Amino acid sequence: GAPSIPGLEVAGEIVGLGEGVDDAHLGQPVFALLAGGGYAQYAAAPVGQCLPLPEALTMIEGAAIPETLFTVWTNLFERAHVADGDAVLVHGGTSGIGTMAIALCKLFGVAIAVTCGSDEKCRRAKELGADHAINYKTADFVSEVQALTGGVDAVLDMVGGDYLPRNLQCLRDDGRHVSIAVQRGTQAEIDIVQIMRRRLTLTGSTLRPRSAGFKSLVADELVREVWPHIRDGALRPVIDSTFPLAEAAAAHARMEGGEHVGKIVLAVAREGDGR
């Protein structure tokens, strides 16, 4: 039932209301999570998936928040139950997910180790607040994680495939592994006895197919727990670059090239003012 137009996150001004939506929403600046349709001048979103855009953020920054914020919060802080004093491993440390994970971990007292594909990206990840950054192309991340942290309480994994058994070796006893993507494949071979003996938890989720009701509940929790940090300017997305909507293909080429750090944002011109 999702639109065929791409785009899962937007920021803008509410210019129209559906049936049953309070008139007070009209004209509000918001950022919103969508099931699709964001690559357009006008997009529709369930009101429960819209969060107020604070004065501390620009529209460009607001557009770079929803999908990564919802994803990291639901998977790392809810499914993996990380809390103050825990340590986590996140792959793709300079991706949109990785940079949001770094920011949230800094806010909530969670130590974070990340993997990156170059020494330069490792340097950037540490500048952004990662406690440890490992170049997975030149070092074995399992041995590095163990040496640097003694093991982590949770792994947020976007890689899948043969990374899964290696991720489990990074976990402390009672550790939690959360899968959110499968870039290296959907199949993995694991040692079940290791899971039993060390009481490990394997879980995962996908966000886009979840109901509007679920996403609205997450939005409510984010307003309570995270929005104050956004309002105060303590949580800001990392913006790699912006492109006009008409140059979306160039934006995708930038993303596919793998050199970006943080989010790539498409800016939609507003009728009449050239912005």
Report, as an integer, the average pLDDT of 229-254: 96
Average pLDDT of every residue of the chain: 94
The model's pLDDT over 131-141, given as tens digits with 9 standing for 90+, comes to 999 999 999 99
Strand order in the sheet with 201-204: 132-135, 111-116, 87-91, 152-157, 171-179, 201-204
pLDDT at 2: 81
pLDDT digits (tens, 9 = 90+) for 54-102: 999 999 999 999 999 999 999 999 999 999 999 999 999 999 999 999 9
Q: Give the three-state DSSP class for 216.
A: helix
- Rg for the chain (alpha carbons), in Å? 19
Q: Is the pLDDT of residue 274 over 60?
A: no
pTM of the model: 0.93
DSSP for 86-99, written as a single string? -EEEEESTTSHHHH
CA distances from 258 to 127, 141, 188 (A): 19, 20, 25
Q: What is the DSSP-derived secondary structure letter of residue 55? A: T
Give me the torsion for CA of 254, 65, 26, 219, rounded to 10°.
140
Contacts of 264 (CB under 8 A, 6+ apart): 240, 241, 242, 243, 251, 254, 255
**pLDDT for residue 119 is more than 90:** yes
- Give the mean pLDDT of 27-46: 94
What does the alpha-carbon distance between residue 112 and residue 101 come to, in Å, rounded to a whole number?
8
pLDDT value, residue 270: 66
pLDDT score of 6? 94
Rounded CA-CA distance 13/43 in Å is: 10
